[in-house]
Amino acid sequence: MRKVPFSVSWFFPILWTTLSLSAAHGFLQWNKTRTTLEEFQHWIERFEKNYHRLPFQLAEVRALAQAHKHRLAPYDNYGMRLQYLPLTETDYLIKSFGRDELENRPLTRVDPTISTISKKAETFIQAAGLQQSIPQFYQPAFLEGTQSPETGLIASVVIQPLFHLRQLLIRSPKNADFYMVAFHDTVEEFMWLPSGMEVVFTAFGSQRYEDGIFYWNLKDNSIHNMLPDIRKQFWKDLPDDWLFYGSLSHINHAPGLIYLLLAPAGSEELNPKDFYSFKNLLAIPINEALADKVEAQRIQTDLAFTAFDYDLTQDRLLKTAEMASPVQQEWLALSLEGDTEELISSWQDFSSNHPTSPMCAYGLWWLASVYNDAFQQLSARGSVEAQVIRGFGIEMTEALIEMPTAPRYLRAMGRFLKKHLMQSKAADYHVTTLPSEG
């Protein structure tokens, strides 16, 4: 039989047909998965309407659908289990991991996702680097949403008070389907690193995950807990289960340092002056070692100084405030100077108006501290109003202590302040500049 000579030109139609069929199949699976997500969205909304809360997991949604003779399979059209996350009291996210079965990354194709959080404000503050090596109070406005100027991505901490969850969410204002969620369920604070593709965050107090100071590389969705390395470096003699108090301070862009405050928990109470001292201030170089093994640095200076010896204004941690969301604008408008009654009223209003905001716990601590200052001043005058102010301060500390989603170190500082106020003694720190007796 005569052989037909092979021609390279035959290969291209075959290749084109193969690729076209593959692309069409992938597009079909994507659309079918999107339909599956929309079906779950319908039943989640029915669940919320019936029970006045979001479901904790998809099993509750499937049970409701089953009661109405409707079967819901918790899988996408790629055969992978769907991910459902209750983010706040009213917002949630449900998504597929797509064909690659991996979390979204900024430089890859986005997986099918539905989330009600995308309806929120799209303008947020941007953080600024700080060249000073001094302890700083964390800027709570970051938690509501901080945009990376390098990539435009938005990071925020969302709170689900019913399930006691604090989750770190990364999203894009340009693509409603792009979301990344850190694995930890009790994230306290975060900061963008200069690349705009890396995040550092603290997380303490989870029943499922270990405590830590985590480095998160969004490019490959890799996360490294830096706390074990730091413990071995400075506290190697402490037992492995010893608890720590930790808070992020600020980022230095040049030469590139992460500043944080970290201290072993000596008790359930934490003295703010002791915590915000140089002896607890650590600097971690920003380099490739963050993904592997880190070596922190202590700041060589007079350890007697604390954050209270410097200006407590946190505006210098902001690159721009013009794009702040409404709730961030309210926070940034709060002051620590002026008339005592006006100060108390403004901090009280913020905490009352935003009980589910990740900033609320911070507002309660600052408000309780304002009461502490006012109590000390009124006591020195011999005013009968001092005990009334002391009582209000105790109420604020109790609200903070009993808030399960409040950061561990804030609750501990609340216990410290409550102990002093209960003994009719003001704590030995000041946060305000109140008018002197006239």
The H-assigned helical ranges of 58-156 are: 58-67, 141-144
Q: What is the pLDDT of residues 319-371, one digit of tens each?
A: 666 678 888 989 999 999 989 999 999 999 999 999 999 999 999 999 999 99
Domain spans of the chain? 20-119, 126-317, 334-422
CA distance 137 to 152: 25
Peptide bond into 255 cis (omega under 30): yes
Q: Which pLDDT belongs to residue 5?
A: 55
DSSP per-residue codes, 386-426: HHHHHHHHHHHHHHHHT-TTS-HHHHHHHHHHHHHHHTT--
Taking only the tens place, the pLDDT of each residue in 161-206 is: 888 999 999 998 888 778 899 999 999 999 999 999 999 999 999 9
Nearest to 113 by CA among 52, 211, 180: 180
Question: How far is the C-alpha of 190 from the C-alpha of 199, rounded, in Å?
Answer: 7
Residue from 312, 325, 334 nearest 126 by CA: 325
Who's near 110: CB < 8 A, 6+ residues apart? 104, 175, 177, 178
Complete edge-to-edge strand list for the sheet that includes strand 297-298: 244-252, 257-264, 281-285, 297-298
Tens digit of each residue's pLDDT (9 = 90 or more) over 377-409: 999 998 989 999 999 999 999 999 999 999 999
Distance CA 200, CA 184 (A): 13
Q: Per-residue pLDDT for 303 more than 80?
A: no
Non-local CB neighbours of 335 within 8 Å, separated by 6+ positions: 343, 346
In the chain the first and final C-alpha atoms are separated, in Å, by 115
Per-residue model confidence as pLDDT tens digits over 216-244: 999 999 999 999 999 999 999 999 899 99
DSSP 3-state of 48: helix
State mean pLDDT over 7-36. 57
Helix axes 360-381, 340-353, angle to 10 degrees: 160
